[in-house]
Structures are given as structure tokens and as C-alpha cells.
């Protein structure tokens, strides 16, 4: 008799964004006239930039002609893209990452979810609290977390690293040494960053304890201040202990095109075993490459025109972030992030619960945000807004806030 | 200390097609003048059809304009595509499959590799021998197969179902009842098919024993004879025991575009637990949807023009199959398949081993094929050719065979 993977039953309720979607649809059905502004899910709203559109059309043309048609992509990605990334994202910034250490994929979410497969089930994972749910949920599904304790909102065998206003939303080094450490900076959901010397401490810690850092740098393009690392490989020794995830979703608006990559340095070994061949084997066995036309689109992001155009988009989103921060401040809120990240992390007024605030914001202002507690128990009493909305919507949302002060 | 997933170390050597690629590259380096003809890997060579190219361009245009830009796709796929598939692939053919039972993905390889995740590690799997390597390897990585026995070329805890000339390459019902049964018809690599009454026996068997059939129908578009099911849901009771995988790769030349889907009927339960929500949860947690432009491309395959154009491509490939079958027959070979599938399965001459024949074919005729033993021990002394080559290459390959009779 076939048996299901019982680990799935440990997951409480729905995936956060599915749950929010359901609530919003119900509200819309009940209030068809309401003009809802979505500052919840981290989806972009600006169209794909012209340089990328042009590359897409050109690649589509190639696919329609026998002499230039491309079938299966190389498992690990086309050389033209791996070489461009190695050069522009790493070597030009002083990080020694070769093209073969870059694995092209259809997005950082998939990579962050799948990476745990190459590690044994007997590893302890550490995550920030609050945290992007994929890191934890993918480990729950694999059976690496123990059971869910409803009273604490935590899994029994996960090392949680609280990120609070007190520590500037940057976790302390854990007392119990974990085997796999998920870090995401600039952070989703808090918008916090680590300075280079802070991140260096984590790299040293991982090397000292033979832990592996799984570093999600999906938001590096939003860094505006100096001295904040864009890549973990800016730290000494990171090639020996860290895997890095990058995404085109937030850098160039590829949420609907799907492109990302993972870096696994050849120096990264655990128990004497290189991790690179394991991930290569996983790619070769369970993945069939990102579409050629999408990889050409990714390449165009690095062209002179492409870079300029995506920088303008990011600048525009960061102006939104400024508008939100100011608007919240005027309305009397305490809010964080929004300077080196597209996320604003606000404290709910009057110690309201995150979900209660979600419901109030939706019913009173018709604004959708993300309940902080959805990212973990230390997100309770917090709420995430994103700067990915349209300018006019962002402005209108902040006007609405003036009638709903903290 | 981080520990790797030791199951990966059970996998012997490289993934089949990577190993072949390496051998061919080495040969090319040593013989830069050689004109190699590739009839090995199952990759298509004809360009994407005009109706699909047109849809791609139109969707790219949409992505470049603020008013029509699309961000994250719905986790499980766009309704326009799920509804089209439900209607055209199922309802029009008498199969009761609703849009919500269709999960859009970036290809059948990923789905076939990932589906095992929703089942417990305590399930026994059964596979045909020979078999498409992904079914087995993904279960090895998960730890469901026991160790590899080099003497037999098999994993200790897998139920292998020999497919031989004697049984027409259609397996017998296994004596030891497996929990998960992988079936692929039209078959890769043998090109064999099951008639409807044969497949019905498997459905009855699965329902009797509470097993789940994982049915790979990636090649259904190549069926030319009547009475051969295009979908397992043509069989009575399949909604209670079967998951089906489909692909646009071989139907419409999407190997480089990446699109496929998985069908999980809501009636499919194991131990009282519906499988649909588990796969939905997996999609929601570890996947972010197929690109919008690719889903529009998939939709265009079902348009009147699209259907006509892809049918012509398939007809062309099947003419290649006929040329190969005839050519091999003339050269004195025993060969199978090639009538309802793009694969031709030949018996190596003089009881030569599959890899020895691979090396001989490459060095003597500069033709690349796939060693049968790469698909399992019962593939030894067999060899796979595919009909996906260009017409002129296929003709030339068969001319070369006349100088290399069996």
C-alpha cells in the first residue's frame, strides 16, 4: 500500500501567501467595489525593461528557425550566462567565483527549497526568526525539523535565531551549533542588513564549526549604503563554508520570467566531500535547464542598456520605500528597513496581533500587507509592507494611512 | 558539522546522458574533422512552429508594458492553460479531468523526479527494466532503494520488471506488490506500447493492492495505431490510483522552452489521504510557476494552426523512424519500436555489449546512440536510436549503416 510522506502533515495551515490570497479573494467577493492596494506579496509591478524585451524577441526568433533553434539547455546553464555572471557579479567586485561554480536555475525559491536535498537528514538547521517560510517548510517536508509545537509556533528541532528591534534584526551567533545556517541579507521580511564585519563573524563561526551557510542574496541589488556586502564571498573564507543564492526576480523584475542561480565554490567540502558534484548531480537528474530565451533575457540584464534600465527601476522602488517610511513615521508608526531593501517592517499599533492588523488594514484601508507572524513567532506584532507597488498606489496607500494613525 | 546526503554516493558513475556527452566531446576533440550524427539523446531538432513563435512574441510584448505585465504566475499554472489542457487533452477524449487537477510545470523530467517527495520513504518502488533513469535515481537520492549491487546493476530494494523481446517489452504484473509503480508508455527507451486492455490490468492491479501508478505519457502524441491509450485515464478506475505526467517537449519541440504538467485526480487517496493537496503544497513551497510567456506558448500548441503545425512535425519525425527501421532491417538488424514512439530499440549484433557497440558506432560510423544498458541491466545488448534527428542526417546515418551490417 502506498504511503504518503507524513512530514507534510506537520505543516500547519496553508503556505503564507496562499492564505493571504484566499483572505483577499473573500474580501473582494464581499466588496466588489473596494479598490484594494496590494503591498503584501513581494511581487514587482514595473514591466520588463526594453533591453531585456529586445533580447527576448531576438531569442524567440532564433527558436523559430532551424539553423538557430536550441533544444535542451546545458544542465547547469549556458556558458554565455555563467561567464557573464562570474565576471559582472563576482570578479568585477573582487570575488573569485568561476563560471563553473555558477548553477543557473528557474529561481532562488526553487534553489533555496531544493538545496537541503544534498544534505543528510541528520543535520540541524538554524534560521532567523522571522524568516522566509521556504527555508523551514522545505526542511519540514524532508523530515529534518521534528514536530510543530503550536504553543510556540516553532518546530522542535530547529535552531531559531531571534531577530528583534533590540539586536537590530541581526541574529546573534547561536549557542547550540547548527549544521546548516540559513541567512538572508538584505533581509526578507525585516529589510535589515549585515555589515561586512558582522557577516565575517558568521563566516568565521561556520568555518570553525564545519557548518555550511546557505546565503540568500536575492535583494543585493537594493543595497544603497557602503560597507554592506553584496555577496558573502566578499568575506574571507566564505569559499570554504558558503553557498549563495541569487535571483533576477527583484533585480530585474523576472518574477514572471523565472531565473536565478546558485553559487557552490569548489572549495566547499563537508566531511571531505565536495558539495559541487552533488548539486550538479541533482541538477542533471531532476532539472532540465532554464529556457534558452530566459537565459538570453538574463544576459541582457548585464548589458550597458540593461543595467541602466534595471537600476532606474530599482531606484523607483526605493523611492516608494522612502515614501512608505515617511508616511508611516508621519502616522506615528515605528518602522524599520526600506533603506537597503524593498521591505518595510512596521510595529503594529497598540500591540495588535499581526493577523488582527492584517484584517483591520484590509477592512479599514483596503491595503494588503503581510502579517509578520507568518514569518515566525518573533514576527508577531510586526507587519511587512513592500515597495514593489505602483507609484500612484503607494502614494494613495500612504494617504489612507493618515486616517489610520498608530 | 554539516553532513551530506549519503544516498547520493550510492549512484554509480554519471547520469547517463552526461556520460555520453563526455565521450562524444572527447571523440570530437581527437577527431575535429569527423561529421558526427547524433541519434542518441532524445532532443528534437525542428524549430518551434510559427503559431507558437507568434504567441511567444505577443506574450513578450505584454511583459514589456506596464498595463499587461505579469509577475508571479499562479503556483499551479494559469487558468487559460489548465482549462485548455483539461478540454483538449482530456474531456474531448472522454477523460474526466478538471482544470484544477492539472498542475503546470517546467517539464515532465522535473515532475517525474519530484513526485516521489510526497510519498514516504517506506514505499517500495517498481520500475521497468530498462527504464528512463530519472525514476530510479530520484528515489536513490531520497533513500528509497537500498544499495546498488554492481554485480546485478540493480538496487537492492527496487522491484525491477524486465521488459524483453519475449514479453514484447511490456512488463508482467509483479509478484511482490510494490507501492509505487512507474510506467511509461509509449515507452522510453524501447518504443513499446500497451494496448488499452493491457493497461486496464495494471489499473485494476493498483486499485486491488492500493498501489499508485506514476504514468509517464510524455510520448502519447506519437501514437499512430488505434486501441492504444493516450492517457491512463482512459482506463476505468484510474482516477483512484494514477498520476499522469505529460510534456510539451516531444509534442511540440519544447525541450528548450520547458513546459509540462502533472495530473492528480481529486479521487486519488492513499491511506485516506488525498494526494492532490500534498502536490499543491509542494508546488506552493518549492516552485514558483512556469514563465507566463511559456504558458502562452503552450496554449498556442492547442490552437487550430498550432495543432496542425505540430502534427506535421511529429509526422516528419515518424517518417524518420520509418527510415531508421527500414535501414536497420536492410542492414540485417533486429529492431523494435518506431511505430507509436520516436524510439528505435535495436539488438546489438553478435551479442556485443551496449557500451562496446556505442564505442564502435561512434568510431566506425560517427553515429551517436544510447547504450541500452544505461537504462538498466535488461537493456544490455540493446541500443537506442531516436527519430528526432534532421531528415538529411537520418538518411545519411542509415546509408552509413549499410557499410556496418549486423
Question: What's the pLDDT band for B41 if we cut at 50, 70, 90?
Answer: confident
For the record, the C-alpha cell of B266 comes out as: 481529486
Residue A25 belongs to what H/E stretch?
helix A16-30
Beta strands at B367-368 and B37-38: parallel, antiparallel or unpaired: parallel
Mean per-residue pLDDT of chain B: 96
Tell me the average pLDDT across B30-44.
91
As a whole number of angstroms, the distance between CA B250 and CA B247 comes to 7
The answer to whether the beta carbons of residues A173 and A152 sit under 8 Å apart is no
SS3 of residue B331 by DSSP: coil
Beta strands at A159-162 and A125-129: parallel, antiparallel or unpaired: parallel
The answer to whether the beta carbons of residues B184 and B243 sit under 8 Å apart is no
Q: What is the pLDDT of residue A14?
A: 65
Q: Do A210 and B287 touch (CB under 8 A)?
A: no
How far does the CA of residue A260 sit from the closest CA of chain B (Å)? 12
DSSP state, A278? H
Q: Is the pLDDT of residue B17 over 90?
A: no
CA angle centred on A187, ends A181 and A189, rounded to 5°: 110
Closest CA to B322 of B222, B220, B196, B403: B222
Q: What is the pLDDT of residue B308?
A: 98
CA angle centred on B254, ends A43 and B361, rounded to 5°: 140
For residue B130, whether the previous peptide bond is cis, meaning omega lies within 30 degrees of 0, is: yes
Which strands sit side by side in the sheet containing B180-184, from one edge to the other? B102-105, B260-263, B242-247, B212-216, B180-184, B125-129, B159-162
Q: Which residues of A touch B211 (CB under 8 A)?
A: 1-2
CB count within 10 Å of CB B254 equals 26
Closest CA to A197 of A229, A222, A170, A162: A229
Q: What is the pLDDT of residue B24?
A: 94
Best mutation site among A15, A19, A64, A256 for testing chain B: the one with the most B CBs within 10 Å?
A256
| Cβ of residue A281 closer than 8 Å to a chain B Cβ | yes
Residues 324-383 of B with CB under 8 A from A: none
Q: Do A282 and B141 touch (CB under 8 A)?
A: yes
Q: Which residues of B touch A288 (CB under 8 A)?
A: 106-107, 109-110, 255, 258
Q: CATH number of A14-43+307-402: 3.30.2130.10, 3.90.226.10, 3.90.1150.10, 3.90.700.10?
A: 3.90.1150.10
Out of B1, B41, B72, the one facing A255 most closely (by C-beta) is B72
Distance from the Cα of residue A159 to its chain's centroid: 20
Q: Do B56 and A60 touch (CB under 8 A)?
A: yes
For the record, the C-alpha cell of A275 comes out as: 558539495
The answer to whether the beta carbons of residues A328 and A346 sit under 8 Å apart is yes
Q: Taking the domains of chain A in order of start, what are their residue ranges?
A: 14-43+307-402, 53-302
Q: Is the pLDDT of residue B14 over 80?
A: no
Task: Read off the pLDDT of residues B174-220 as tens digits, 9 standing for 90 and up.
Answer: 999 999 999 999 999 999 999 999 999 999 999 999 999 999 999 99
Q: Which residues of B touch A113 (CB under 8 A)?
A: 285-287
Question: Beta strands of A153-236 (E only): which ranges?
Answer: 154-155, 159-162, 180-184, 212-216
CA angle centred on B42, ends A99 and B336, rounded to 5°: 155
| Cβ of residue A56 closer than 8 Å to a chain B Cβ | yes
CA distances in angstroms from B270 to A14, B202, B300, listed in the order given: 21, 17, 36
For the record, the C-alpha cell of A11 comes out as: 505543516
pTM more than 0.90 = yes
Which residue from B minimizes the CA distance to A76? B18
List of chain A residues with pLDDT < 50: none
| Cβ of residue A194 closer than 8 Å to a chain B Cβ | no
For residue B359, whether the previous peptide bond is cis, meaning omega lies within 30 degrees of 0, is: no
As a whole number of angstroms, the distance between CA A163 and CA A151 comes to 19
In degrees and rounded to multiples of 5, residue B148 shows phi and psi of: -85, 130
As a whole number of angstroms, the distance between CA B384 and CA B328 comes to 12
Q: Is the pLDDT of residue B71 over 80?
A: yes
Q: Do A120 and B285 touch (CB under 8 A)?
A: no
The yes-or-no answer to whether A14-43+307-402 and A53-302 have a common fold is no
CA distances in angstroms from A109 to B77, B146, B277, B378, listed in the order given: 16, 30, 20, 39
Q: Do B18 and A284 touch (CB under 8 A)?
A: yes
Which residue from A minimizes the CA distance to B180? A2
| Cβ of residue A13 closer than 8 Å to a chain B Cβ | no
Distance from the Cα of residue B26 to its chain's centroid: 27
The answer to whether the beta carbons of residues A217 and A230 sit under 8 Å apart is yes
- What is the ipTM score, two decimals? 0.96
Q: What is the pLDDT of residue A404?
A: 80
Which strands sit side by side in the sheet containing A335-337, from one edge to the other? A335-337, A343-347, A382-386, A370-371
Interface A–B counts its CB contacts (< 8 A) at 253
Closest CA to A322 of A394, A250, A384: A394
Q: Do B66 and A46 touch (CB under 8 A)?
A: yes
Closest CA to B339 of B200, B209, B228: B228
| Cβ of residue A293 closer than 8 Å to a chain B Cβ | yes
Out of A44, A64, A209, the one facing B48 most closely (by C-beta) is A64
Burial classification of residue B32, based on how many CB atoms lie within 10 Å of its CB (0-12 exposed, 13-18 middle, 19 or more buried): exposed
| Cβ of residue A406 closer than 8 Å to a chain B Cβ | no
As a whole number of angstroms, the distance between CA A393 and CA A323 comes to 11
The answer to whether the beta carbons of residues A27 and A363 sit under 8 Å apart is yes
Residue with cell 533513500: B143
The answer to whether the beta carbons of residues B234 and B204 sit under 8 Å apart is no
| Cβ of residue A286 closer than 8 Å to a chain B Cβ | yes
Q: Do B110 and A282 touch (CB under 8 A)?
A: no
- Length of chain B equals 406
B335 beta partners: B346
CB count within 10 Å of CB B87 equals 14
The answer to whether the beta carbons of residues B395 and B377 sit under 8 Å apart is no
Task: Read off the pLDDT of residues B168-185 as tens digits, 9 standing for 90 and up.
Answer: 999 999 999 999 999 999
How far does the CA of residue B150 sit from the closest CA of chain A (Å)? 20
Q: Do A3 and B120 touch (CB under 8 A)?
A: yes
B53-302 topology per CATH: 3.40.640
Q: Do A64 and B50 touch (CB under 8 A)?
A: yes
Question: What's the pLDDT band for B404 if we cut at 50, 70, 90?
Answer: confident
| Cβ of residue A2 closer than 8 Å to a chain B Cβ | yes
B154 beta partners: B149
Task: Read off the pLDDT of residues B254-279 as tens digits, 9 standing for 90 and up.
Answer: 999 999 999 999 999 999 999 999 99
Task: Read off the pLDDT of residues A341-392 as tens digits, 9 standing for 90 and up.
Answer: 999 999 999 999 999 999 999 999 999 999 999 999 999 999 999 999 999 9
Out of A3, A43, A290, the one facing B179 most closely (by C-beta) is A3
Tell me the average pLDDT across B243-261.
97
Q: CATH number of B14-43+305-402: 3.30.70.270, 3.10.20.90, 3.90.1150.10, 3.40.50.300?
A: 3.90.1150.10
Distance from the Cα of residue A148 to its chain's centroid: 23
CB count within 10 Å of CB B22 equals 11
For residue A150, whether the previous peptide bond is cis, meaning omega lies within 30 degrees of 0, is: no
Closest CA to A261 of A275, A251, A274: A251
CA distances in angstroms from A111 to A179, A341, B105, listed in the order given: 18, 21, 15
Amino acid at each position: 500500500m502506498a504511503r504518503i510522506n507524513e512530514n507534510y502533515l506537520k505543516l500547519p495551515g496553508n503556505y503564507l501567501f496562499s492564505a493571504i490570497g484566499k483572505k483577499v479573494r473573500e474580501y473582494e467577493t464581499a466588496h466588489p467595489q473596494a479598490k484594494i492596494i496590494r503591498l503584501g506579496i513581494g511581487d514587482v509591478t514595473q514591466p520588463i525593461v526594453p533591453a531585456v524585451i529586445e533580447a527576448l524577441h531576438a531569442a524567440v526568433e532564433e527558436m523559430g528557425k532551424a539553423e538557430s533553434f536550441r533544444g535542451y539547455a546545458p544542465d547547469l546553464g549556458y556558458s554565455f550566462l555563467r561567464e557573464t555572471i562570474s565576471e559582472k557579479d563576482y570578479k568585477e567586485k573582487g570575488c573569485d567565483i568561476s563560471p563553473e561554480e555558477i548553477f543557473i536555475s528557474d529561481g532562488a525559491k526553487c534553489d533555496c527549497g531544493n538545496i537541503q536535498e544534498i544534505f543528510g537528514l541528520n543535520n540541524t538547521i538554524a534560521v532567523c526568526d522571522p524568516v522566509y517560510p521556504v527555508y523551514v517548510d522545505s526542511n519540514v517536508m524532508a523530515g529534518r525539523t521534528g514536530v510543530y509545537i503550536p504553543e510556540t509556533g516553532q518546530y522542535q528541532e530547529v535552531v531559531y535565531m531571534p531577530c528583534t528591534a533590540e539586536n537590530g534584526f541581526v541574529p546573534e551567533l547561536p549557542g547550540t551549533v547548527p549544521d546548516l545556517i540559513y541567512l538572508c541579507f538584505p533581509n526578507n521580511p525585516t529589510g535589515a542588513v549585515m555589515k561586512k564585519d558582522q557577516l565575517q563573524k558568521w563566516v568565521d563561526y561556520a568555518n570553525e564549526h564545519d557548518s555550511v551557510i546557505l546565503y540568500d542574496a536575492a535583494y543585493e541589488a537594493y543595497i544603497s549604503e557602503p560597507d554592506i556586502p553584496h555577496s558573502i564571498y566578499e568575506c574571507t573564507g566564505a569559499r570554504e563554508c558558503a553557498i549563495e543564492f541569487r535571483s533576477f526576480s527583484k533585480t530585474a523584475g523576472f518574477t514572471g520570467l523565472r531565473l536565478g542561480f546558485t553559487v557552490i565554490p569548489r572549495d566547499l567540502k563537508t566531511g571531505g566531500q565536495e558539495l559541487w558534484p552533488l548539486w550538479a548531480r541533482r541538477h542533471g537528474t531532476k532539472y532540465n535547464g532554464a529556457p534558452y530565451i530566459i537565459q538570453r533575457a538574463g544576459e541582457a540584464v548585464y548589458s550597458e542598456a540593461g543595467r541602466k534600465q534595471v537600476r532606474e527601476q530599482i531606484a523607483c522602488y526605493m523611492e516608494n520605500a522612502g515614501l512608505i517610511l515617511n508616511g508611516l513615521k508621519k502616522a506615528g508608526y515605528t518602522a524599520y528597513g526600506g533603506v537597503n531593501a524593498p521591505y518595510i517592517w512596521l510595529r503594529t499599533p497598540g500591540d495588535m496581533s499581526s493577523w488582527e492588523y492584517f484584517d483591520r488594514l484590509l477592512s479599514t484601508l483596503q491595503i494588503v500587507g503581510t502579517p509578520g507572524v507568518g514569518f515566525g513567532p518573533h514576527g508577531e506584532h510586526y507587519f511587512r509592507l513592500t515597495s514593489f507597488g505602483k507609484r500612484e498606489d503607494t502614494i494613495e496607500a500612504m494617504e489612507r494611512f493618515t486616517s489610520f494613525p498608530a
